[in-house]
Amino acid sequence: MHYTEVENLATTITIADYLFHRLKQLKVNTIFGLPGEFNAPLIDKLYSIQGLRWAGNTNELNAAYASDGYARLKGLGCIISTFGVGELSAINGIAGSYAEHVGVLHVVGMPPTSAQTRQLLLHHTLGNGDYTVFHRMATEVSCHSAVIVDTDFCAQEVDACISKAFTLQRPVYMGIPVNLVDMPVESHRLNQPLDLSVPPNDPNKENEVVEQILSHFYKAKHPVIIADACVTRHAVDAETRELCERTQFPLFVTPMGKGAVDESLPQFGGVYTGSISSPSVREVVGFVDFLIVIGCMLADFETSSFHFGYRAKELVLLYPTLVKFKHATYPDLNIKPLLQSLLSQLRESQLSYHTQPRQSMVIPKLELPSTHSLRQEWVWNQISQWFQERDIIITETGTSAFGINQTHFPHHTLGISQALWGSVGYSLGACLGAAMAATELSKTHRVVLFIGDGAFQLTAQELSTMIRWRLTPYIFIMNNQGYSVDRFLHSNASYYDIQPWDYSRLPEIFGAQDYESRKIVTVGDFQSMVKDPNFANAERIRILEIMLPPMDVPQALRERWVQDEKRELERRESVESVKRQKLLPPR
C-alpha cells in the first residue's frame, strides 16, 4: 500500500505537512525547538501528524544540542526555531553538528514574504530591513541551505534539504516564511521514498585504492586498525567489524570513535589518544608497520585536539568521501562502497600477519577503603563494571571525556561525546535528545550521562524537559567544584570556581514526581549504589552527585598537562623573541 493510502492523505497537502511526513518516513519522530511568532503555524501542523511529537525545549541552544544527540542515534535530527533570536541562539549547537558530522535539519520560521520584500521593520530583525543576514551566517555552518519561496518547487527543495542532511551528515538550513506554510503540494511524491543511497565510486579509482590497501594488508607484520567517529556517522559499523574479524588485526578506537566498534572483540586494545595513550596502547601502536584509520573525522588526523603524534610510514586514512595514502590524496571516494569493495576482494589466506598475544584493554586498578573519599581513577574503573549492553553513554567535555577512555564498553554500547567542537554544556542537551531517541528504538537502552558540575550549570534547565517527558536517564554529576580540567591545565585561578548548587534537589524544583537523588561522597557510598540491583533498572530519572576533589583528574589528563607545559614554555619563548625584535624607543 502506498504511503498516502496508509496515512489517508488528500491529493493536495500543505508544504508543512509534506515536510513532517518526510521526517516521519525517516523515523524522525521527535522535533526539538521553541515556539515563536514566525514558526507557530508550522508547529501547528506537526500536531496533526500521528507519531510525531514536539519536544518543547527550554531554550534554543539546548534544543540544538538535543537534536544533535537525537541524530547520533537516529541518523537525522530536526530543530525548529524562530527567525533571528531563535536561530542565532541555536547556532553554536548547529556549528557543533557541522564540526562533528551530525545530520541536523534546522528549520527556521521566517517573517512573511510580504514583510521581507517590503523590508518592514518587524521585531527579531536588526532594524535595518536586511532579512537575509541570518541565512548568510547559517551558511557558514551548513552543508546546504534554502529558503522555501518557490511555490512550484518547494517539495523538491524539502526533499533536497532532508536528503543532504542525512547523506552528508551535516546541518542543513531551511527557512520557511510564515505565510507559506499552507502552500499546496501534491502528496503522491511521498509514495516515492527519498533517495538516501551513497552514489557508487568510479570503479577504476576505487580498484586502484583497494589494490594498494590490500597489498599493504597482505605484507604487514604489525598492522593496526583504528576506528574514528565517522564509522558511526557514515554507517560503516558492519563493514568495519567484518574487516576486523577477517583480518584479526589489533583494533583501537579514537576518543571520538569510542562506541563505534564492539569492545568485546578479542583484538580490541582500547582508546588510542596519540602521545597520551596508556602505555599498553602506545606499546602496540608505537611499533606498527601499517596503520589504517577508518571513518576519519578530522581533515588532518595528525594534529587533532588530542595531539595524535603518530606518523606511520604506511598510513591509510579513510575519510567519508576521501582517502589519504602516504602522500597521495584520492578525492571523491565514498567510504561505504569502498569498504565493501575492499571486503569482497580481501583474501585472508594472503595475510602475513600472525595473531599475537592479545593486548587487551588495561583498566587501571586502585584499591580504596570504603570510608575513603572518591578518586577519578577509581570511579572510572568501577563504573566500567556497572555498564550494560546497549547502554548509551554520554560524556561532557572535561574530566569525563578523559575518564571514559579508560572504561570498557559492553557490546552494542553507544558513546556520545563532542570531543572536537567541545562546547561546554552540550552533553545535557544531547542527553535529552538521546533519551527521546532511546524511547523510540525497538530495544530498551539505558541512557547514562557523565557531566561536570561546571558544565551542568550552562544548560541546567534542560533537566526540566527530561522530567516533563518522564525520561529516565542516569545523570552523574562529577562535582569537583568548578572547571577542573582548565584548573589543572591552566592555573588554579578563582575564575574556575563556580557557585555551589544543591544539584540533588533540582528535580523536585523542576516538578519531578518520580526521581532518585544520591550524593556519593565515599567509596562505600559508591559501592552500595552500584551493588543495589534496583539501581540497574532505568525506571526513574536519577541525579547522582559524585563528590570529587577539585584537583583530582584522570591519568590521561595528567599526561596531557606535561605536554602542555612543554608547549607553554615554547609559547613564552616565542613572546620573548617578539619582545626582543620590537625594541621600544627609550623615553
Measure the CA–CA gap between 442 and 210, rounded to whole angstroms: 36
Kindly state the cell numbers that stand for 555: 591519568
Angstrom CA distances, 181 to 36, 41, 108, 178, stand at 14, 7, 12, 6
Q: Shortest distance, CB of residue 350 to its own copies, whole angstroms?
A: 36
Please name which of 306, 238, 314 lies closest in space to residue 275, comparing C-alpha atoms: 306
51 touches its own copies (CB under 8 A): no
Among 69, 75, 77, 96, which residue sits at the site for its own copies (rule: CB under 8 A)?
Answer: 96
By CB under 8 A, which span of 234-242, 271-279, 437-445, 509-517 interacts with its own copies? 509-517
> Is the CB of 313 or the CB of 582 nearer to its own copies?
582
Query: Could you identify the residue written with the cell 577509581?
Result: 378
> Is the CB of 411 or the CB of 572 nearer to its own copies?
572
> Is the CB of 433 or the CB of 482 nearer to its own copies?
482
> Is the CB of 506 or the CB of 538 nearer to its own copies?
506
> Is the CB of 283 or the CB of 573 nearer to its own copies?
573
Q: What are φ and ψ of residue 399, in 5° steps?
A: -60, -35
Q: Shortest distance, CB of residue 305 to its own copies, whole angstroms?
A: 4
Residue 480 labelled as part of a binding site? yes
Q: Shortest distance, CB of residue 110 to its own copies, whole angstroms?
A: 14
Q: Residue 562 in 3-state DSSP?
A: helix
Residue 453 labelled as part of a binding site? yes
151 touches its own copies (CB under 8 A): yes
The residues in 57-76 that bind its own copies, with binding defined as CB under 8 A, are 58-59, 61
Q: Shortest distance, CB of residue 458 to its own copies, whole angstroms?
A: 4
524 touches its own copies (CB under 8 A): no
186 touches its own copies (CB under 8 A): yes
Question: 392 pairs with which residues across the strands?
Answer: 414, 447
Task: Name residue 18's amino acid.
Answer: Y
Q: Shortest distance, CB of residue 65 to its own copies, whole angstroms?
A: 11
Please, are residues 520 and 477 in contact by the beta-carbon 8 Å criterion? no
Q: Shortest distance, CB of residue 586 to its own copies, whole angstroms?
A: 9
Q: What are φ and ψ of residue 415, in 5° steps?
A: -105, 135
The residues in 109-148 that bind its own copies, with binding defined as CB under 8 A, are 112, 114, 120-129, 133, 136-137, 140-141
506 touches its own copies (CB under 8 A): yes
* CB contact set of 176 (below 8 Å; sequence gap of 6+): 15, 16, 42, 107, 108, 109, 110, 147, 148
> Is the CB of 44 or the CB of 332 nearer to its own copies?
44
Among 49, 168, 179, 218, which residue sits at the site for its own copies (rule: CB under 8 A)?
Answer: 179
Among 40, 49, 198, 312, which residue sits at the site for its own copies (rule: CB under 8 A)?
Answer: 40
Measure the CA–CA gap between 9 and 14, rounded to whole angstroms: 11
Signed CA dihedral, 209, 214, 217, 220: sign only: negative
Q: What are φ and ψ of residue 120, in 5° steps?
A: -65, 155
* CB contact set of 586 (below 8 Å; sequence gap of 6+): none
Please, are residues 53 and 31 in contact by the beta-carbon 8 Å criterion? yes
299 touches its own copies (CB under 8 A): yes
Binding residues for Mg(2+): 453, 480, 482
